[in-house]
Amino acid sequence: MKKDNLFVLVAIVFMSAAMVWFMFQNQTVSPRVMENDEVAQVFEEEYGAKPYTGKKVILAEAEWKERLKPDEFWVMREEGTEPSGTGKYDKFYEKGIYNCAACGLPLFSSDTKYDSRTGWPSFWAPINPSHVGYRNDKSLFSTRVKIHCNRCEGHIGHVFKDGPPPTGHRYCVNSMALKFVPEGRSQSE
């Protein structure tokens, strides 16, 4: 009797392992590759994304390295993430506009900023739906959506669906990817 139980247990363990392996195989070996248009449509439906129609700022990586501070380069060109709670705009609630630290395109407004208690500046919407771009960020165990400045392609952070009303979105942004301009001050000052 004891032997039978053991046999059943081993069989169950083996079958479970086989099932997990099979599911994992299905997920990783044969993902359906979406066309660019399909991907764009998903981001339009889910986040209201719009294509950027202005002139792009495209520079060689060496030029970005010269222009940006090392930390900014790491976040914006190498997709680094500043440690939680260390960014200068985390607990910062002055009125104004947050521009792209690399090219100056306005990305977010203080009007949509809120305290997400994550340690990163968080917004529930971009200042203009065409200024922020979206890409899938596939790592081994999760699929996240990373966001970038649509003018210079600089990485700024990620977007999640656990934000407050009215959008329910959380744009989780690195302070290093932003430059704050207080309300009433011109962009060039």
Torsion of CA 81, 36, 98, 46, to 10 degrees: -100
Residue among 151, 155, 169, 170 that touches Zn ion (CB under 5 A): 151
To Zn ion, the closest distance from the beta carbon of 132 in angstroms equals 10
Number of residues that bind Zn ion (CB under 5 A): 8
- Which of these ranges, 37-45, 98-106, 113-121, 122-130, lies near Zn ion under the rule CB under 5 A? 98-106
154 binds Zn ion per the rule CB under 5 A: yes
To Zn ion, the closest distance from the beta carbon of 183 in angstroms equals 21
The answer to whether 159 and 147 are in contact (CB under 8 A) is: yes
- Which of these ranges, 9-17, 83-91, 123-131, 146-154, lies near Zn ion under the rule CB under 5 A? 146-154
- What SS3 class is residue 52? coil
103 binds Zn ion per the rule CB under 5 A: yes
The answer to whether 124 and 170 are in contact (CB under 8 A) is: yes
100 binds Zn ion per the rule CB under 5 A: yes
Cβ within 8 Å of residue 116, ≥6 positions away: 122, 163, 170, 172
152 binds Zn ion per the rule CB under 5 A: yes
To Zn ion, the closest distance from the beta carbon of 57 in angstroms equals 6
The answer to whether 109 and 98 are in contact (CB under 8 A) is: yes
Identity of the residue, 71 or 164, whose beta carbon is nearer to Zn ion in the bound complex: 71
102 binds Zn ion per the rule CB under 5 A: yes
Q: Give me the DSSP letters along 69-86.
A: -HHHHHHHHH---PPTT-
So which residues are the catalytic ones? Answer: 172
CA 156, CA 17: separation in Å to the nearest integer? 39
Q: Give contact residues for Zn ion (rule: CB under 5 A).
A: 100, 102-103, 105, 149, 151-152, 154
